[in-house]
Structure 1
Amino acid sequence: MTRTAQASGDQPRRQAMLEALRSSGAPLGVTELAERLGIHPNTVRFHLDALVAEGLVDRRLEEPTGRGRPRTVHTPHPGMDRGGRRQYQLLAKILLGQLSTAPDAGAAAEAAGRNWGGYLVEQIPPPRQPDIAEATQRLNAMMTDLGFAPEPDGDPAERIRLRHCPFLELAEEYSATLCPLHLGLMRGALTEIHAPIEATRLEPFAEPDACIVHLSSRRPNAGARPHRREQRST
């Protein structure tokens, strides 16, 4: 039996243990769980160890009421069950559908992307400013972390191919909103590190297997770090 098949077979039994613990009015020991479920205590121990490791069950020693070793008991970890399905793609569709109804959905999406791009990019300590090579390296590193699989296309300071879209199904349906958000991510990142280049355009699905990002030199002083003014005490 493969590990995947074994894990799949273990799940119903562990779920049954969780339900037994939740329905119990008191903490349960291994023997009590084994009796309730009709399985061997060693099997109970095995699955309890896994549930404790996953943070779904709490294990503790009861205060002794007489002679002998204190009893080890188990209770379900408080909080909502973290198992089950996730519907993040549905949530993304709902939010993108709502955003796409805005008067200027593309601009709103780009602004959101700019904010997050500035947050996600690896920072450069002031007052140092990156050169073109470092700026493109940091941009590519961020896009790699996000799953876009970037690769230089000719001059890396002019064009970058994005070989993968981590939101492909959504981008095919909501490209007018999602693609400006991607462009905003890159613009926000380059602005945040005061790069001497800027992302000027994103061509969605420019090639059968890639989108193309166009870069250009930033106009003089546009990427300079602003001088911070000292606050005056009043």
Structure 2
Amino acid sequence: MDTPPKGPSGETIDTPRHRALGSTSRVSILRLVRAAESGVTATEVAERTGQHLSTTRAHLDRLTKAGLLVKARASGGLPGRPAWRYRAAAADPAPAAYRDLAVALLGHLSRSGGDVKATATQVGQDWGRQLAAAAPPSEDPVDTVLAVLNGLGFSPRRQPTADEGTRTEVHLLTCPFLELVGQNPDAMCGLHLGVVRGALRHDDAPVVLEPFGAPAACVVRLPAARRAAGRQP
């Protein structure tokens, strides 16, 4: 049996990552993506590197599977199905119990048919309600959402908006499930959307989760506190 290689301080080297970085082209692409805070598409990378688009996509997929990049669809509020956008992965892992749940969900969805994102959102709502029930009590439902997201490792930050009386915006500065997002973005982003709805205790609230909605952050848009509070069960 092969012995995993060791680093200079005795740590085990992450072989998939080192193999992914064994190509000069992939190293250059990784640097390019890291320099683009709001993420880049495969087409943009191909244009900047001069590589064929199919070759670029293969390199991006390899970096994503190695956990060095994460991909998501950023619509910018426009209709239609947008292209994948890639961003560098740089988050701490989620607590083991949460990761186990997410892995189990991906395994279940991969074996079942139907609308993957809708199913994941429903699971997330149930999960979010449970997490909210265990969070510190608060009169502001948005504070409960922030507590739940912070406990999961998303480093949420409430942002000022021009219409704070009707809408609240939260930036997620990290994602503890990045490599799982890379495996199934629709399922994982749907799960996170559902968690927010469940934590808000308003399943049909007009909540939007926008991957890459801001430079270096995903954006959650939800009703302002007084509207959300008025609809709690």
- The two structures have a TM-score, normalised by structure 1, of 0.47
* Bigger radius of gyration: 1
